[in-house]
Amino acid sequence: MNIHARRLIAIPSVLFMTYLIVNFAYAQSPAENAFRKGQGYFNSGNFVEAFNEFDKTIKLDPDYADGYCGRGAAYETQGDLERAMADYEKAILLNPRYAQAYFNRGNMHREKGDLEKARADFSKAIEIKAGYADAYRNRGVVYTLENKSDEAIIDFSKAVELAPNFTDAYYCRGRTYYDQNKLEQATADYAKTLSIDQNYYDAHIGLGNIYYKKGNYDRALTEYEKAIKINQKNAVGYYGKGRALDKKEHFSAAIAEYEKAIQRNPGYADAYYGRATSYYKKCSYGTTNIFTTEGVLNQAIADYSKTIELQPNNANAYHGRGLAYGQSGLIDEAILDFTKAIERNPTFEAAFYDRGCAYTNLRKSDEAISDYSKALALDPRDASCYNNRGRLYFEGGEHNKAIADLSKAIELYPIETNREHIPPYLNRAEAYIAKKDYARAIADCDKVLQYHPLYRGAHILKTKAKSLGNASRK
């Protein structure tokens, strides 16, 4: 899980010794004075002047630990992470009980991906400074990156206990609950975040994602739109709207939202994938005509290709492009993409199934049966797989295997629950006819005709079974 917690750099607040002198002024060393100026500049966003003052502090007093911590933070704002790390190390060397230096160094380790060291530094900061809410929050983020969600929730909970208005900690806990599929707890934490700060962009996105996951696409759209009003430059809200609109089968509107997301973030792989899928659905759901289908499929293929360029190991993108190639009649290209999807995800049931369909179209029955069998090993309740494999067994003369598969397809997906699930009945009827079991063949045809009285294929097979049955009795 990736929680993008807001960046926290701690600038030390220095406690100064107070001296009573005749004019009641506070005595302050030149180094302390320079540090205070640097602190003021940093907090006002003037990082260049802050750096200069922190650097001056160190020159005036090379053993002044706060100066190194401040300059390290200034180096971070310049992107000079090596020098920042060196300064935090020096601050800790000078003051081994310096909680804020451990905190800042922990952030550095986290950004470098050294999670064990980051966790150790945040833990040290907590040990030194009781009630350090920011350190609990940041250690919680490290736990999420280590897939230790229970430990993360404990730390986020401690952070909000110490700081009841700590919006980032509520948000992070909500995100962790979401990834655990504890949607009610996640909803409560996002709502709490927004009760403190109604303009917290990510919390609106989080609520939108919860409603999306629950299938409440209208409420999801409402939350994504609220997020967009807060920040029109962030691509995530538009991406969320695109996903929700796609689920409502408003494919053109979804494509428009994905386009906005891509305009704001040209490297947004998920947005290209989403737009590709909406393009593909426009064709497969019959919302294009014969004059536009080819162009729309080409757009889908282009977007899937862009997704793959950005994420070379994205199995879903290869699978999606394979489907688009298949619908374009490019069966060999489709098989190649399905194979690449399987290489990246060996448990990708749909990719085995769709490659099996592609092999079926090429009349490569052995390869198709193999893929349908692999798909069924991954999902034993895939009725379409049983039907397709059963049909191939029938065409290969293996009638008993065919009947077994087709019977399983009917058991899983009877026509009573889906009136469009006709093929297994008619395929089994043909297998029964081949075995000269005409009564069962007629029964299968009658089952289809019970729900579709005008279904021509069922009438033809029934007539054939009756004719052959009558002939066999003569």
pLDDT, tens digit (0-9, with 9 covering 90-100), for 309-328: 999 999 999 999 999 999 99
* Segment 330-337 mean pLDDT: 98
Domain residue spans in the chain?
1-146, 381-474
Query: For position 284, what pLDDT does the model report?
Result: 84
Query: For position 287, what pLDDT does the model report?
Result: 59
Q: Which of 11, 7, 135 is nearest to 74 (CA)?
A: 11
* Segment 129-158 mean pLDDT: 97
Where residue 209 falls among pLDDT bands split at 50, 70, 90? very high
CATH class as words, domain 1-146: mainly alpha
Whether 25 shows a pLDDT value over 80: the answer reads no
- 381-474: CATH topology is 1.25.40
315 near 341, Cβ under 8 Å?
A: yes
Report pTM: 0.87
CA separation for the pair 169, 153 (Å, rounded): 9
Where residue 21 falls among pLDDT bands split at 50, 70, 90? very low
Query: For position 438, what pLDDT does the model report?
Result: 97
Q: What is the mean pLDDT of the chain?
A: 93
Q: Would you tell me how many other CB atoms lie within 10 Å of the CB of residue 287?
A: 15
CA separation for the pair 284, 102 (Å, rounded): 56
Within this chain, domains 1-146 and 381-474 share the same CATH topology: yes
Query: For position 170, what pLDDT does the model report?
Result: 98
Where residue 174 falls among pLDDT bands split at 50, 70, 90? very high
* Segment 223-244 mean pLDDT: 99
296 near 288, Cβ under 8 Å?
A: yes
Query: For position 289, what pLDDT does the model report?
Result: 56
Instruction: Burial-class residue 328 by CB neighbours within 10 Å (0-12, 13-18, 19+).
Output: middle
Which stretch of 19-23, 62-66, 172-176, 224-228 has the lowest confidence by average pLDDT? 19-23
Helix axes of 167-179 and 149-162: crossing angle, nearest 10 degrees: 160
177 near 186, Cβ under 8 Å?
A: yes
CA separation for the pair 258, 243 (Å, rounded): 8
Q: Which of 130, 106, 128 is nearest to 117 (CA)?
A: 106
